[in-house]
Amino acid sequence: MNYMLPQRRNSLARYKDMAKITYIEHGGAEHVVEVANGLTVMEGARDNNIPGIEADCGGACACSTCHVYVDSAWVEKLPAMDGMEEDMLDFAFEPKPGQSRLTCQLRVSDALDGLVVRMPERQI
Higher pLDDT, 11 or 88: 88
pLDDT tens-digit profile of 82-101? 999 999 999 999 999 999 99
> According to the model, what pLDDT value does residue 16 have?
61
- C-alpha triplet 33, 104, 11: angle, nearest 5°: 30
Could you give the CA distance from residue 27 to residue 101 in angstroms, rounded to a whole number?
19
Give me the amino acid identity at 103.
T
Higher pLDDT, 37 or 4: 37
What are the sequence ranges of the domains in the chain? 13-118
- Going by pLDDT thresholds of 50, 70 and 90, the confidence category of residue 15 is very low
Could you give the CA distance from residue 10 to residue 114 in angstroms, rounded to a whole number?
21
pLDDT tens-digit profile of 24-81? 999 999 999 999 999 999 999 999 999 999 999 999 999 999 999 999 999 999 999 9
Q: Which CATH code fits 13-118?
A: 3.10.20.30
> In the Cβ-directed half-sphere of 2, how many Cα atoms lie within 13 Å?
1
Model pTM score? 0.86
